[in-house]
């Protein structure tokens, strides 16, 4: 009888182990440790600009800097970038607060966006609201990142100033998708992704949509975030 009971216990243990091995793998999750990251990036791509149904496309290069400081449920990020496309220069900078864990984050912030050309410089204040998700791929050092952000600029000088054209509320949309890799024995990361930004400037006499898009390459230093 004793041998019989021992045999039953062994069989039950084997079945339990098999059930555990057959269980679905845990869902991927975002980084859980606090993270500090500073990096530079460049975007090589195109800028399309539409004025009176006449679309002009030029190629150019954007360079910028990203700074990220976050715990598991809250964080801050800062970014600035500048790019030249033909005779026009696109410049923007923003600061954002990040809420909730990296696997699902809500972003809100403010910034400025400027378009400079031979005709002058148009500077707009920007409000930012978006969502993003950063997920580790096991213990490989790889992670995926995807984010979508809405941009809005309020009316600027609605009365038109001293004979100038009034600028109406303008809107935009920004999207990024990337894969990041951190070296196993050094606080260094590299990233590869794609970025696109659509923005429509409006005035009392003109609506001018534009799109800037291209491949995004980046890298820098990173502490934590695993």
**Cβ–Cβ under 8 Å, residues 190 and 11:** no
Q: Output the pLDDT for position 59.
A: 95
- Determine, yes or no, domain membership for 19: no
pLDDT tens-digit series, residues 154-207: 876 555 444 445 567 889 999 999 999 999 989 999 999 999 999 988 876 778
18-73 pLDDT, tens digit per residue, is 444 444 455 555 566 799 999 999 999 999 988 777 888 999 999 999 999 999 89
Does 91 have pLDDT greater than 90? yes
Could you list the residue range(s) of the whole structural domain that residue 142 is in? 31-224
- 14 occurs within a structural domain: no
Alpha helix (H) residue ranges in the chain: 2-22
Considering the domain boundaries, does residue 160 fall inside one? yes
> pLDDT category, 107, cuts 50, 70, 90?
very high
Provide the pLDDT for residue 206: 74
Whether residue 36 lies inside any domain: the answer is yes
- Which CATH number belongs to the domain containing residue 87 in this structure? 2.40.128.100
Task: Please indicate, yes or no, if residue 16 is contained in any of the structural domains.
Answer: no
13 within domain boundaries: no
The values of phi and psi at residue 5, to 5°, are -65, -40
Question: Residue 30: its pLDDT value, please?
Answer: 57
159: Cα separation from own chain's centroid:
35
Contact 198, 210 (CB under 8 A): yes
CA dihedral angle for residue 100, residue 124, residue 65, residue 48, rounded to 10 degrees = 100
- For residues 128 and 65, what is the distance between their CA atoms, to the nearest angstrom? 18
* 115, 108 contact by CB (below 8 A): no
- What are the Cα distances from residue 38, in Å, to 23, 122, 171? 39, 29, 29
Q: How many CB atoms lie within 10 A of CB 137?
A: 13
* Overall domain count for the chain: 1
Residue 130: how many CA atoms within 13 Å on its side-chain side? 22
Average pLDDT, the chain: 84
**Would strands 142-153 and 207-224 be described as parallel, antiparallel, or unpaired?**
unpaired
In our burial notation (b when 16+ CB lie closer than 10 A, e otherwise), range 162-191 reads eeeeebbebebebebebebbbeeeeeebeb
C-alpha dist (Å) from residue 130 to 105, 123, 203, 218? 8, 22, 25, 21
**Using one digit for the tens of pLDDT, what is the confidence trace for 123-139?**
899 999 999 999 999 88
The answer, as to whether pTM is greater than 0.75, is yes
Q: Which of 105, 107, 146, 109 has the alpha carbon at shortest distance from 126?
A: 109
**Domain annotation covers residue 85:** yes
Residue 4 lies in a domain: no
Nearest to 92 by CA among 100, 83, 80: 80
Q: Report residue 26 as tokens.
A: 């845990």
Instruction: Please indicate whether residue 200 or residue 78 has the higher confidence score (pLDDT).
Output: 78
């Amino acid at each position: 009888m004793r041998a019989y009971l021992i045999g039953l216990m062994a069989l039950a243990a084997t079945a339990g182990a098999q059930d555990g091995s057959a269980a679905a793998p845990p869902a991927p999750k975002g980084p859980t440790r606090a993270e500090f990251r500073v990096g530079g990036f460049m975007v090589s791509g195109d800028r399309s600009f539409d004025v009176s149904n006449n679309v002009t496309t030029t190629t150019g290069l954007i360079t910028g800097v990203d700074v990220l400081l976050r715990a598991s449920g809250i964080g801050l990020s800062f970014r600035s970038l500048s790019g030249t496309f033909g005779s026009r220069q696109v410049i923007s900078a923003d600061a954002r607060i990040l809420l909730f864990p990296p696997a699902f984050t809500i972003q809100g912030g403010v910034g400025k966006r400027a378009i400079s050309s031979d005709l002058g410089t148009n500077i707009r204040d920007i409000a930012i609201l978006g969502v993003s998700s950063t997920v580790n791929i096991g213990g490989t050092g790889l992670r995926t990142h995807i984010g979508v952000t809405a941009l809005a600029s309020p009316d600027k000088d609605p009365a038109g100033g001293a004979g100038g054209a009034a600028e109406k509320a303008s809107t935009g949309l920004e999207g990024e998708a990337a894969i990041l890799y951190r070296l196993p024995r050094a606080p260094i990361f590299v990233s590869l992704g794609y970025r696109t930004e659509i923005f429509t400037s409006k005035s009392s006499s003109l609506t001018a949509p534009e799109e800037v898009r291209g491949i995004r390459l980046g890298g820098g230093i990173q502490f934590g975030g695993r």
